[in-house]
Amino acid sequence: MSKISVLFGGASFEHEISIVSAISLKKVLGERIGYFFFLDGGHTLYLIPADKMQAKTFATGEYKQCKQLEWILGGVGYRGLFGSKRLSDVGVVLSLIHGGDGEDGIISSVLAFYKIPFIAPRVAACALSFNKILTKNYAAHIGVKTLPYEHYRYGDEVCPSFVYPFIIKPATLGSSIGVSVVEKQDDMEYALDCAFGYDREILIEPFYKGVREYNLAGYKNAQGEIVFSMVEEPKKTELLSFDDKYLDFSRTTQATQATISQELESALQDAFKRIYGDLFEGALIRCDFFVIDDEIYLNEINPIPGSLAHYLFENFGQHITALAQALPKSKPINITYNYVQKIRAAKGK
């Protein structure tokens, strides 16, 4: 069985959440994990020993004493006394970098460029799921409903047509960062400052009190079948805060299956299957849905969910192994230089 190497950190507003996710996953996957790779805010890559995978290693800067690494073709290496050396048995790299660097596709590009097998959304999937506006456009294309919204850029005059309350959120980011519920006009300035503090584009959506919310995760296996998690109905107040989600990412216990009808569960799975399609092959994603007046609406796609949503699966290690064996393969390009040779022959050079 190939080992899993966990990659986390990154230059992101969700940097600390990524650390919490990695520590949580260490407890869940145990000996299945070969290495822990930490990417700091300056994009320096470190090898973190398993016994150092604790919060104080990063909070105190102790990680800087660990071995520095570098990307090499087909894997990861480090500089020794006699030149670069390859780190053995890296296996499949599992990206737990939330937000920027991870969910925006940068790390997926790096891993693909160096031909390192990895569990994470590919670049196109990252682009569509990281930006909430593109996510809505994608959902509309595949026939999955989303809430109505208005889109503003920094500097625009913001005049929402929705009645109060409504919700203001940055176009990117997750974990409820920069998200506010506006109950009255007096709340607007603060909410806009929060959202524009993280992104130059924002969305405004109607806010429904008491809405039913369900989370569903899954992946595509080697047989081309979607493997679904249980459906969870998260316990929450009217809006899950950053602190709610931050603490939730440290979960190591399994969630409880939502008490819903088979009809609703099947409908949620159908919506998930449409969203996952072929686009998210090689990734385990979580979709968060609203149910309003018996209609299902996609709230957001979590392309790299906190703690990889392990708490929604039984025998999570087996699922990660199955996913590692179902990664999409890129078709090799045969470079022949035939065209260049023809030009050279024509010019007599």
Q: Under a CB-based contact definition with an 8 Å cutoff, are residues 269 and 289 in contact?
A: no
Q: Rounded to a whole number, what is the distance in angstroms from the first to the last CA of the chain? A: 53
pTM above 0.95, yes or no: no
For residue 198, what pLDDT is reported?
87
Q: What is the pLDDT of residues 249-266, one digit of tens each?
A: 556 678 899 999 999 999
How many whole angstroms separate alpha carbon 219 and alpha carbon 213?
A: 21
List CB contacts of 297: < 8 A, sequence separation 6 or more: 145, 146, 147, 289, 290, 291
The structural domain count of the chain equals: 2
Same domain, 14 and 70: yes
Give the pair of three-digit tokens for residue 161.
């047509």
User: Is 284 inside a domain boundary?
Assistant: yes
Give the pair of three-digit tokens for residue 57.
């290693």
For residue 246, what pLDDT is reported?
46
User: Is 32 inside a domain boundary?
Assistant: yes
User: Is 151 inside a domain boundary?
Assistant: no
CATH number of domain containing 241: 3.30.470.20
User: Is 337 inside a domain boundary?
Assistant: no
How many whole angstroms separate alpha carbon 162 and alpha carbon 148?
A: 10
User: Is 199 inside a domain boundary?
Assistant: no
What domain range includes position 284?
Answer: 129-139+209-324
CATH number of domain containing 67: 3.40.50.20
Q: What is the pLDDT of residues 213-249, one digit of tens each?
A: 999 999 999 999 999 999 999 876 555 544 454 455 5
